Chain A
Amino acid sequence: DGGITQSPKYLFRKEGQNVTLSCEQNLNHDAMYWYRQDPGQGLRLIYYSQIVNDFQKGDIAEGYSVSREKKESFPLTVTSAQKNPTAFYLCASSPRQGLGLYGYTFGSGTRLTVV
């Protein structure tokens, strides 16, 4: 079955560590996105990518980095520069930006906690 897989489901980070969240899709989607979800707030866009080897900053990119070396994969690194990283992180994909009737397909999320 086609879908989008995020791993791990839970991740614990010590202060000062970088951690990488994995996102893989087998839907042949061109565009991929990373969102952060905090209680009582909407989804905030961290980074997005429309094609391989290209990505753009979203609204809250500071302290995060991404790569898009393969169409299927869009990993997110939470660096030590991100001062408040505890949140639920959601990866999404879509056939291409602008194809509105398809919406986004979301992964099941990674809950990151700083310990």
Chain B
Amino acid sequence: GEDVEQSLFLSVREGDSSVINCTYTDSSSTYLYWYKQEPGAGLQLLTYIFSNMDMKQDQRLTVLLNKKDKHLSLRIADTQTGDSAIYFCAEMTGGFKTIFGAGTRLFVKA
């Protein structure tokens, strides 16, 4: 069935790069997303990538997509304490349903 998996925790030092990884199972996915959730809040759409793209860059964020391995990553350059949050990977399947991963909690140490 459809599933999105990501590791639950990541800890980095302030100023380093963070890389959050995600794997998905539906090969007919059209869009893949990264959302950010701060404590006690809803999710905010950070960025998306269309399934025919390999890479998308948006300021400090770089998204890489490996369709062959069904692997998506989010790189945050120069990670700041304000980047501490939960990051959710999500895919829009061929049936226009959006499936979310469990979220990766990013800790940024000063």
Interface residues of A (CB under 8 A from B): 4, 6, 35, 40-43, 90, 92, 97-98, 100-101, 103-109, 111
- DSSP class of B's interface residues: helix, strand, loop or mixed? strand
In the complex, residue of chain B having the shortest beta-carbon distance to the beta carbon of A90: B42
Task: Tell me how many residues of B have a C-beta within 8 Å of chain A.
Answer: 23
Closest A residue to B103 by CB, please name it: A42
CB distance B33 to A41 under 8 Å? no
| Residues from chain A with Cβ under 8 Å of B44 in the complex | 106
Q: Is the CB of B48 within 8 A of A100?
A: yes
- Contact indicator A103/B103 (Cβ below 8 Å): no
Q: Assess the B96–A101 pair: CB atoms within 8 A.
A: no
Across the interface, B30 reaches (CB within 8 A) one of A41, A42, A100, A103, namely A100
Whole-angstrom CA separation of A111 from B4 in the bound complex: 25
Q: Are B92 and A100 in contact (CB under 8 A)?
A: yes
User: Which residues of B approach A to under 8 Å, CB–CB?
Assistant: 4, 8, 30-31, 33, 35, 40-45, 48, 50, 88, 92, 96, 98-103
In the assembled complex, the CB of A70 is this many whole angstroms from the nearest CB of chain B, namely 21
Which among A35, A90, A103 has the greatest number of chain B C-beta atoms within 10 A? A103
